[in-house]
Structure 1
Amino acid sequence: MGHRVRHGRPLSRAIADPEAFIRAETRLRPVPLVPEIALHVADEAVPIWHRTEEELGEMGLPPPFWAFAWAGGQALARHVLDHPGLVAGRRVLDFASGSGLVGIAAMKAGALSADCADIDPFARAAIALNGASNGVALTPRGADLIGADEGWDVVLAGDIAYERDLAARVFAWLLALAARGAVVLIGDPGRTYLPKDRLEKLADYSVPVTRELEDMEIKRTSVFRPRA
């Protein structure tokens, strides 16, 4: 999760050293539902949120989605690791990648390559750092890829149904990719704008999450694919 809009505002200034910032503000810890993978994650949401705003010299930014293992991403990563045939030998796009968790899972499951798309420069630094920490090579992508088709065999997207207009754009694109033959998998813990009538549920997971970011400590989360 992490492909966030910034209400049309550019970042106020360049980040001097995002990798150093991430190393200073996070700790490398196993992901609760996917302990085979470790991520650089924050202990608390509010302090790192404030530190991110201070680093960029701009208040009112979205939360640092890259600094946490979100429920949709955890479920999707677990599903990919448990079903490696979905990605083995294939070109994968991890959309709204955030920490790179799902891309890491894809590479560990035998993917040929994993593009990890996120418009947040902190996220792209986290993706590269987390990939290296887990012994896999990821390709961070900063462009807005909604509507693009670079021939990916598999497209994985976690926690993308949180905002109405963005969700409508994303799901129209994902459904088009599925229609042309891509494997599209979506991890979601019941976000408001998930188009369930267009999706088929594949699996359910009970995902440990932080109460700072969610409404409960264990979030029931599902993996979906577009209906044929």
Structure 2
Amino acid sequence: MTNRPEPLEALPPKPEALPPSQRPKRRRRSTGTYAAADARRAAILEAATRNFAQQGYLNSSLAKIAADAGTSATVVVHHFGSKDRLLLAVLEARENRNYLKVHLGVPNDDIREQFRAVLALAAHNLTEPGLIELFAKLSVEATNPDHPGHAFFLTRFEGAIDALATGFRGALAAGQLKQETDPEQIAREVLAVSDGLQVQWALSLGRLDFVAAYRAYLDRLTQVLTTDGRGLD
């Protein structure tokens, strides 16, 4: 006898071939779930920023950060992976805020307004002394390519220099700066002085008048660079 093959099972009809009432309902992603996750991440970042700024990195625990954010340490790890990655997320969010403070709404053809915005940002950063100390420490450690923060700090420095140089180019094109001015070189100098003074401020335990020292430097620089030779006023 010849064995007959078993008949193939009929394939189910495609959904689009069925009447609308018989078609399976598609599962939709809940936007509410995403909104809740975003809100939770924002709350964790806010709590972490506050703890790192006030207590420092080593004295801040994930449990305390989680409690301040109204959640658990497990949820914090789920969203950020580790305390190190949470710190980098805090620093990245800080840099984004700083960028907006300096460049949003500041005319890119007025060197004095740009310097005033940079100075205002420096004064604001003093309200977060723990983050200044962390930033200074990590920026040195991150020179090692294997450091988890290496890519962040490399991107941060190049992005900040490019943003500042763009503004200086605008002032140069507007005739405010002397023609021999190199916008990128000045941008690197302005950033280096700011970061260097922050390190000195941290080492002096806040005794150094950082804002006054930075303002005096920017005032001298304005007098040297501008065609009219005036300072910040």
Could you tell me the TM-score, scaled by structure 2's length?
0.28
Which is helix-richer, 1 or 2? 2
Could you tell me the TM-score, scaled by structure 1's length?
0.29
- Which one has the largest radius of gyration? 2
Higher relative CO (CA 8 A, sep ≥ 6), structure 1 or 2? 1
Which is strand-richer, 1 or 2? 1
